Amino acid sequence: MPEAIVSILGADYESVEPMRLGGTGELFWAHKRGLDVDVVIKRCQTRYRGYMDDTREARILKNLRHQYLPRIYDVIYAPDGFAYTVMDYILGCNLEEYVRHYGALPQKQTVKWLRQLCQVTAYLHSQKPPVIHCDLKPQNIMITPEGDICVIDFNTSLLYENQEMQALGATCGYAAPEQYHLSGAALQRLPQPEREKWNRWNKAASHCGKVTERTDLYAIGAIAYFMMTGYTPGHCLEEIIPLNRYRIQMGDSLRAVIEKAMQKEPQHRFSSAKTMLTALENLKKTDRRYRTWRIHCQLTSIALSALMLLSVFSIWMGREFQGRDQQTQYQTLITEADSLIESQQYEKSLVILSQAISLNDVGIEAYSRTAKILYRLGRYSDCIAMLSELTFVEDDSALSQEKFEFTQAELNYVLGSCYYQIKDYGNAVRCLELAVWFAPEEPLYCRDLAIAQAQNSDMEGARETYAALKKQNHVNPNDVLLVQGELDYASGDYAAALKSLLQLTGAADEDLSARSYLLAAQCYQRLGNDDLPKEIALLEEACAVLPVSSLDQVRQQLADAYLRYGTQSGDATCYTKALEQLDGLADQQVVTLTVLLDRELALQHLNRYPEALKATQTVVEQYPNDYRGYVRLALLYLSKPLYDADAAQSAYAQASTLYAGSGEQSSEFVYLESLMGGQG
C-alpha cells in the first residue's frame, strides 16, 4: 500500500508508513522532501467517493491559513477514485486521548480551548463560501506540545451555498440534529440494518432544516460538555444528561453557553462562532458583583479628571445624602445625571450614573441612560458589553409596569442600534424585535427593525415590518420614506434610495435628517468615484445645518470622504480638512477606533510622521487585541522617514496572530504581507 501511494503522489514523498484508520479514511505518515517536513496523508474511503470531487473545494482547503489549523499542502484526486489530503503532521495527542488520560478538565482549561475552537471556526466560516467542518469532535482536535488546539480532518467539510447540503456522516454525541435530516435518495443508499434507525432520526430532525454554520456550533457545545464531564453527550435526538446532574465545578454562565450551543433547533443556538466567542470572553460579566465593579471602573475611567470629580462628588454625597434612604439617593443621582445629559456634559453624567449603579445595581433607569450616552459617544462595544448580559426584574415600588416595559423597550432599542452600527445585523434584529414586542406602538422601533431586517438579507421580513409600520395610526410619513430608502439601498438600487433620502435631509426630526444625510452619502459612495464630490458637498451641508449633538457620525463619514478624495485627486488640503474633522471629534470625546485610525492616516499623508507614529501607538495601547493598529504600526516602520525593519517585523508578527483569529478579510493586511515578503 505505501508503495502504491508513492506512485500516486510522486517521488517527493518518502518513508510512507501506515498510521491508523481515520473516521473517513486511512492515515499515513510520510516525509515531504521538497519542504523537509513530516506530513500526514489521508486517503478517503470508497464510500465517500463523489463528495470530494470539486476542484474549487480543494483550492479553498489548500488556502486555509490559521494558527489552529494544520497547513493543507495538497488535495489530490487520483485515478483510483480516492482523494488524498496532504497536511502537516501535528505532534501531540487528540483531545479524546487527553481527557481519557487526565480526566475531566477544569473550567479554566476548558474555556481556553473553547475560545481557540471558536476562533478557528469563525475563520472557517468567514471563507467565501464558508467552510463548515461538519465533524468537529474530540478525535479531530489535536492538543499540541505548546498546549494549544489544532483542528484536523476536513474530508467531511462542506462549502455553505444556497443549495440543500447534507453532511457525509454523523458522529453520535457531536453531530447536530440537522445532520440526521437526509434526502430520500440518501436514505436509500444506507445499508438495510442502518436504514430503520436513520428513518426514525430523519423524521425527528425534519424540522431542523439543513446544515449551516450553526451545525459546527452544536459540535463545539458537545465538545465542551465532554471536556467538563469526561463523558460523550447522548445522541442529539435522544435524551442527554443535563450538565447540572454532574458533580462538577462549573459556573452558571459557562453552563448557559454550552446549553445554548447544544440547542436542538439551530435558530436557538448562537448566531455565529464570533457571537459564541464573545459570550466566552464575557463569562465573568454575568456575575453581578463583578459586572457592577467593572461598569463602575469603565465609566469612571473615561471621565475627564475622574479622580478629582469622584472625590468632589463623594464629599458632596456624604453631606447631601446623609440620613436619606438609598432609593432617594438613587433618584437624586438620576435627576442630576439628566441635567448633565441635557447640557451635553456626558463624561460627568457617566460619573454620576456609575455612582447610581453602585447604589442600586438592578435599577433599570441608570443603565438606560448610560447606554444612550455610550451610544452617543460611539462606544458601541462598551454598550453591548454592559447590556447584553443584563436581566431586569419588575419592581412596582420603583416603576409602574408601563414605565418598566417602556424602559425595557428603550434598552433593547439602544442595544439593537449598537449591534447595527458594528454591522452585526442578526443580533440587531433580535434586539429590535424585543423592543417592538415591549412597545408595539412605537413607530421608531418598527422603522429600525425593518431596516435591520433588510441589512440582514431578510427582505421578506423587512417588507412585512414595513407594511405594519405604514398601518400604524401615528406613523410619521418621513419614517415610511426612510424605510423605503433603506429597502432600496439594501436591494442595491442606490439611485432610487437616493431619491427618497434626499427628500428627508431637511426634515424637522434631527435624528431622521442625520440618518438620511448619512445614507444618502453612502449611496453616492456606492455609485462610484465620480459622485465623491457630491458626497462631500452633502456631508458639508449636513455639518452646516444639523445640531452638534447629531454630527458625530456625519463628521466621521466626512473625514473618510476627504481622505478618499485626497487619494483620488492628490490634493493635500483634503487631508487637512479630514484632520480638522477628526480633531473636532476628539474634542467632543468621540474617540472610536475608526477615528483614531483615520487620524493617523491623515497625519501620515501630511508627512507628519512622528505624530502619526504617536497616534498609532495610542491605537495599539487602547486596542491591544485588534490587528489593525499593528498593521498601521508596521506600515509606518516600513516608511522611509521611520524605517526600522526589526520594529516592523515585530508589529507584523503581532498583526498576523491577531488577524488569523479575527475571521476578517483586510486588503491593508494583504498589502502589508506583500511588503514583508519583499523584506525577506
Least confident of 136-140, 305-309, 639-643: 305-309
What pLDDT is attached to residue 357? 80
Taking residues 145-162, report their average pLDDT: 70
Which pLDDT value is given to residue 216?
94
Q: Is 135 exposed, middle or buried (CB count within 10 Å of its CB: 0-12, 13-18, 19+)?
A: buried
Strands (E), 247-316: none
How many Cα atoms sit within 13 Å of 310 on the Cβ side?
A: 18
- Asked if residues 549 and 344 have their Cβ atoms less than 8 Å apart, the reply is yes
pLDDT at 156: 55
- pLDDT for the residue 109: 92
| Predicted pLDDT at 316 | 46
Over residues 351-390, the pLDDT tens digits come to 888 888 877 776 778 888 888 888 887 788 778 877 765 6
C-alpha angle 514/552/470, rounded to 5°? Answer: 25
Cα 603 to Cα 615: distance, rounded to the nearest angstrom:
9
Average pLDDT, the chain: 81
The pLDDT of 272-301, averaged and rounded, is: 62
Whole-number pLDDT of residue 304: 38
Beta pairing class for 141-143 and 131-132: unpaired
Q: How confident is the model at residue 207 (pLDDT cuts 50, 70, 90)?
A: confident
Res 391 pLDDT > 70: no
Percent of the chain at pLDDT exceeding 70? 82
As given in the structure block, the three cell numbers for residue 366 are: 441608570
pLDDT digits (tens, 9 = 90+) for 310-350: 444 454 445 444 445 677 888 889 899 888 888 878 888 88
Whole-number Å distance between alpha carbons of 225 and 236: 13
Q: Rounded mean pLDDT of 495-505?
A: 91
Confidence grade of residue 632 (pLDDT, cut at 50, 70, 90):
very high
Name the least confident of 13-27, 61-75, 477-491: 13-27
The whole-number average pLDDT for the span 593-621 is 92
Q: Is it the case that residue 137 has pLDDT exceeding 70?
A: yes
pLDDT of residue 222: 96
Which phi and psi (to 5°) does residue 601 adopt? Answer: -65, -40
Mean pLDDT of all residues in 266-282: 88
pLDDT of residue 608: 95
Residue found under cell 453527550? 233
How far apart (Å, rounded) are the C-alpha atoms in residues 198 and 180?
Answer: 7
Prediction pTM value: 0.47
Please report the domains of the chain, with CATH numbers, ordered by start residue. Answer: 2-88 (3.30.200.20), 93-281 (1.10.510.10), 285-393 (1.25.40), 607-680 (1.25.40)
CA atoms within 13 A on the CB side of 316: 12
Provide DSSP, 180-216: G---HHHHHHS-HHHHHHHHHHHHHTGGG-S--HHHH
Closest CA to 389 of 571, 548, 257: 257
Per-residue model confidence (pLDDT) at position 112: 93
The tens digit of pLDDT for each residue in 502-517 reads 998 878 888 889 889 9
Q: If you average pLDDT over residues 490-502, what whole number do you get?
A: 90
pLDDT of residue 679: 57
User: With 50 as the cut, is the pLDDT of residue 287 above it?
Assistant: no
Look at the alpha carbons of 442, 446, 451, 453 in this order and tell me if their dihedral is positive or negative: positive
pLDDT confidence bin for 296, thresholds 50/70/90: very low
pLDDT value for 325: 67
